[in-house]
């Protein structure tokens, strides 16, 4: 493969790790190695490898996405120690209440995930640098009965609030072609409710969020913003990252054109790869090539 020039810009960049796979949970060795080396190679167009500068002076914020931050908290491969060299760490923590079920076979159980909230807020240095993703809300049929994880939010909201967290991001499962075929092979009877039912479910979530003084954001589903108390999400929000930055250093505010049209995220460089297959094996996941 040919090497492209390093991806550099005068302003420090936001690094995303990663939308494509769960690097903190399943590839902490790789992530720690990249941070230690100060560089990461990612596949670009036409199979070229793009070199990303991970030296602290080049990084505005390191954004970590995960369903299990235990490796980070336990300092496996010195990951916790290594990421401390960055000015700012921002954590997007997905907790759906489905961990350990047949829908999210490889994900930690909900109680173990909830126990990580306090330590993560401490590690990030500010509770607003941790955002919980109750994403996705899933409905399915089991033994002739409709089931959903919607009710788990009643447990999640007070726990997040008790740790000082303020921001929750939500979305409803989108069953892309790969996920639909996977569900059919496994005889999983998912339900994709009409928009009206999703709006009503979102109203229920907004009521719970308001009770605990939490801010609710809709991720790439702008129709949910019809519900009072729900705003469109920018999971990577340059304005917020600039506001929270210890040196108040501005982040790049351009919209991330590589994401879906309704995604409000500002620019970042994602250093994960779909070739790093995520063992969470979530049935609904667009990036999951596994069936079991």
> Does the pLDDT of residue 20 top 50, yes or no?
yes
Condensed to tens digits (0 to 9), the pLDDT of residues 69-94 reads: 999 999 999 999 999 999 999 999 99
Burial class (CB in 10 A: 0-12, 13-18, 19+), 39: middle
Residue at 126 is within a domain: yes
Residue at 7 is within a domain: no
Cα distance between residue 27 and residue 24, in whole Å: 6
Please give the C-alpha separations between residue 259 and each of 14, 49, 152, 270, in angstroms, as whole numbers: 15, 20, 28, 11
pLDDT band at 68 (very low <50, low <70, confident <90, very high): very high
Task: Tell me which of 2 and 199 has the higher pLDDT.
Answer: 199
Residue at 4 is within a domain: no
Domain of 222, in residue numbers: 13-270
> Does the pLDDT of residue 10 top 90, yes or no?
no
**Mean pLDDT of the region 237-260:** 97
At residue 290, the pLDDT reads 55
Number of domains in the chain: 1
Residue at 279 is within a domain: no
At residue 45, the pLDDT reads 66
Condensed to tens digits (0 to 9), the pLDDT of residues 193-231 reads: 999 999 999 999 999 999 999 999 999 999 999 999 999
Task: Tell me which of 286 and 256 has the higher pLDDT.
Answer: 256
DSSP 239-253: HHHHHHSTT-PPPP-
> Does the pLDDT of residue 292 top 60, yes or no?
no
At residue 42, the pLDDT reads 87
At residue 167, the pLDDT reads 98
> Does the pLDDT of residue 33 top 80, yes or no?
yes
Confidence (pTM):
0.94
Task: Summarize the chain as % helix, strand, coil (round to 5).
Answer: 35, 25, 40
Residue at 1 is within a domain: no
Residue at 276 is within a domain: no
Task: Tell me which of 154 and 9 has the higher pLDDT.
Answer: 154
Residue at 8 is within a domain: no
Cα distance between residue 120 and residue 54, in whole Å: 22
Q: Give the domain CATH number at 212.
A: 3.20.20
Residue at 209 is within a domain: yes
């Amino acid at each position: 493969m040919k090497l492209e020039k390093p991806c550099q810009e005068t302003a420090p960049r936001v690094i995303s790790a990663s939308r494509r796979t769960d690097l903190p949970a399943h590839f902490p060795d790789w992530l720690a190695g990249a941070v230690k080396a100060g560089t990461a190679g990612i596949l670009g167009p036409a199979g070229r490898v793009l070199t990303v500068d991970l030296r602290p002076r080049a990084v505005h914020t390191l954004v970590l996405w995960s369903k299990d931050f235990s490796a980070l908290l336990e300092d496996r491969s010195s990951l916790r120690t290594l990421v401390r060299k960055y000015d700012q760490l921002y954590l997007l923590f997905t907790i759906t209440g489905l961990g350990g079920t047949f829908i999210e076979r490889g994900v930690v159980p909900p109680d173990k995930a909830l126990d990580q909230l306090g330590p993560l807020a401490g590690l990030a240095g500010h509770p607003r640098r941790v955002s919980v993703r109750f994403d996705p809300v899933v409905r399915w049929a089991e033994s002739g009965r409709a089931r959903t994880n919607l009710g788990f939010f009643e447990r999640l909201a007070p726990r997040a609030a008790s740790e000082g967290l303020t921001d929750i991001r939500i979305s409803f499962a989108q069953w892309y072609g790969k996920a639909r075929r996977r569900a059919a092979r496994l005889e999983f009877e998912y339900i994709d409710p009409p928009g009206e039912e999703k709006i009503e479910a979102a109203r229920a979530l907004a009521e719970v969020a308001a009770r605990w003084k939490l801010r609710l954001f809709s991720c790439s589903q702008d129709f949910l913003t019809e519900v009072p108390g729900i705003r469109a999400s920018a999971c990577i929000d340059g304005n917020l990252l600039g506001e929270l930055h210890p040196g108040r250093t501005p982040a790049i505010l351009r919209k991330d054109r590589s994401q879906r049209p309704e995604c409000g995220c500002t620019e970042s460089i994602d250093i994960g790869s779909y070739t790093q297959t995520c063992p969470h094996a979530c049935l609904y996941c667009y990036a999951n090539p596994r069936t079991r």
